[in-house]
Each structure stands twice: as structure tokens, then as C-alpha cells.
């Protein structure tokens, strides 16, 4: 699995994908920081995670759309299936590689918290910031797992990317139709974390969504492998 992670991370940085994702995310985060925090002289850093969560909806596809769709396009899917590595190891390895890129990006964005603390004259809103970080990590894993699942369904990276964004956006609005959809809306499940509230039920649900889509991806690829 470690070899898969290294290979995927290397791929992200040997192509524009990793740089575009990190650059776009930090650029937009800087804009949100300037508008909502710097100009208003606010020390509410955790509130920026709401904007970051919304931003991730539109950028996560950059990391996930080529996970398996790209393998098919490049003709390397057969090599993937015939390698000594298990499908489970491949799926989890690709998932962790994308997750690592998100974590690197989030660590870089902590510069804004340093600025807020310098402005406030010391550490500020520590519980809310820690809670928001935990929530964002959980939130991002659901998006990565979902994007990986979509990528396993098609050989077209563009279709995988568009479908990921559209379906994730749909989870924003489906709860307006019925409260039953609340449980499948990562953006709403994340809502309490920046307020300093670590909800056990929301944490379990986010983790369950991540696990569900990882298992679905493994199942899809196992079936495809058996048909080769």
C-alpha cells in the first residue's frame, strides 16, 4: 500500500494536478480570509472552514477524477488488475494519497490562523479551531471516497469530475426536500464543527459515508477484475 501512496503522490506533483489543487484552494482561501476576517478585523478563524468546505466541493474532483478513469484512459488498468497488489490496497492507497494532498493544503492554510493569532496578540479560539480541523478532516475523507467511487465507474476523467461536483452539490440541497437527506449531506454534517461542537453522531455518520464509498469502490473494481 505504501508503494501505491508514494506513486500516487508523485503523480500528483509530476503533473499540474497537485499544484493546481493546492494553488486554487489557497488562492480562494486567501480571498475568503481577506473578505471575512482581515477586512472585518475578526479573530473568528474557525468560521473560514465553512468557506473551505464549500470550496472543496468544487476542487476535490481535481484529485479524484483520474484515480481510475485515468488508468483506463492510459491503458494501465489491466496492469493494475494483474499486479500483485490487492484491489483493497490499491483503493485505500489512492484514497490516502489524495487525503495527504488535502492535509498538506490544510497545513499550509494554517498560516491564516497564525496571522489571526498575531493580530489578537496570542492564541485565540483554540477549541473551535481544533474542532473545525477535526471536522474538516472527516469532511474531506467523505468527498475523496465519493470522488474515487465515481472515478471507478467511468473511463472519462471529465465525466468523473463533472459528476462528482454535480452530485456533491446535490447533497447541499436535497435536505431542503426532506430531512431524511440530512444524513447524506456531508456539508450539513460538518456544520457544527466550526462552532466548537464535535457531534458523535455526525462524526460516526461522516466516517460511515467514507467507509461505504470505499467499500463500493472495492466492490466495483473486484467485479471488473473478475470480468477481465
pLDDT value of position 79: 67
pLDDT band per the 50, 70, 90 thresholds, residue 161? very high
Task: Give the number of domains in the chain.
Answer: 1
**Percent share of the chain, pLDDT over 90:** 52
In terms of C-beta density within 10 A (0-12 exposed, 13-18 middle, 19 or more buried), how is residue 153 classed? middle
Residue 102 has pLDDT above 90, yes or no: yes
Residue 218 has pLDDT above 70, yes or no: yes
Return d(Cα 217, Cα 87) in angstroms, integer.
9
Return d(Cα 187, Cα 192) in angstroms, integer.
10
Nearest alpha carbon to residue 215 among 109, 88, 41:
88
pLDDT band per the 50, 70, 90 thresholds, residue 42? confident
Query: 182 or 43, which is more confident?
Result: 182
Residue 90 has pLDDT above 70, yes or no: yes
Nearest alpha carbon to residue 17 among 73, 67, 63, 55:
63
Residue 48 has pLDDT above 90, yes or no: no
pLDDT band per the 50, 70, 90 thresholds, residue 70? confident
Residue 193 has pLDDT above 90, yes or no: yes
| Host domain of residue 192 | 2-227
**What is the residue-wise DSSP string for the chain?**
-HHHHHHHHHHHHHSHHHHHHHHHHHHHHHHHHIIIIITTT---GGGHHHHHHHHHHHHHHHHHTTSSHHHHHTT-HHHHHHSSS-HHHHHHHHHHHHHHHHHHHHHHHTHHHHHHHHHHTS--SHHHHHHHHHHHHHHHHHHHHHHHHHHTT-S-HHHHHHHHHHHHHHHHHHHHH-GGGGGG-HHHHTTTGGGT---HHHHHHHHHHHHHHHHHHHHHHHHHHHH-
pLDDT band per the 50, 70, 90 thresholds, residue 76? low
Residue 163 has pLDDT above 90, yes or no: yes
Mean of all residue pLDDT scores within the chain: 88
Query: 99 or 43, which is more confident?
Result: 99
pLDDT tens sequence across 124-135: 888 999 999 999
pTM over 0.95: no
pLDDT tens sequence across 168-179: 999 988 888 777
pLDDT value of position 75: 65
pLDDT tens sequence across 139-160: 999 999 999 999 999 888 999 9
**Percent share of the chain, pLDDT over 70:** 95
> What average pLDDT does the segment 183-200 reach?
91
Amino acid at each position: 500500500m505504501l508503494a501505491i501512496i508514494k506513486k500516487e503522490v508523485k503523480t500528483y506533483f509530476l503533473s499540474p494536478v497537485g499544484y493546481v489543487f493546492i494553488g486554487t484552494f489557497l488562492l480562494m482561501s486567501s480571498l475568503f480570509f481577506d473578505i471575512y476576517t482581515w477586512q472585518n478585523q475578526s479573530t473568528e478563524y474557525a468560521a473560514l472552514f465553512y468557506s473551505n468546505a464549500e470550496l472543496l466541493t468544487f476542487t476535490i474532483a481535481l484529485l479524484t477524477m483520474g484515480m481510475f478513469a485515468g488508468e483506463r484512459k492510459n491503458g494501465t488498468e489491466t496492469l493494475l488488475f494483474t499486479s500483485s497488489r490487492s484491489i483493497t490496497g490499491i483503493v485505500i492507497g489512492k484514497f490516502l494519497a489524495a487525503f495527504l494532498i488535502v492535509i498538506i493544503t490544510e497545513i499550509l492554510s494554517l498560516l491564516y490562523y497564525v496571522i489571526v493569532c498575531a493580530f489578537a496578540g496570542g492564541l485565540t479560539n483554540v477549541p473551535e479551531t481544533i474542532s473545525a480541523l477535526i471536522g474538516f478532516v472527516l469532511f474531506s475523507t467523505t468527498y475523496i471516497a465519493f470522488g474515487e467511487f465515481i472515478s471507478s465507474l467511468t473511463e472519462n476523467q471529465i465525466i468523473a469530475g463533472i459528476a462528482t461536483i454535480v452530485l456533491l452539490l446535490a447533497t447541499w440541497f436535497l435536505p431542503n426536500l426532506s430531512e431524511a437527506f440530512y444524513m447524506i449531506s456531508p456539508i450539513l454534517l460538518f456544520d457544527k464543527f466550526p462552532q466548537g461542537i464535535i457531534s458523535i453522531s455526525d462524526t460516526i455518520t461522516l466516517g460511515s459515508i467514507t467507509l461505504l464509498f470505499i467499500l463500493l469502490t472495492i466492490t466495483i473494481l473486484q467485479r471488473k477484475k473478475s470480468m477481465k
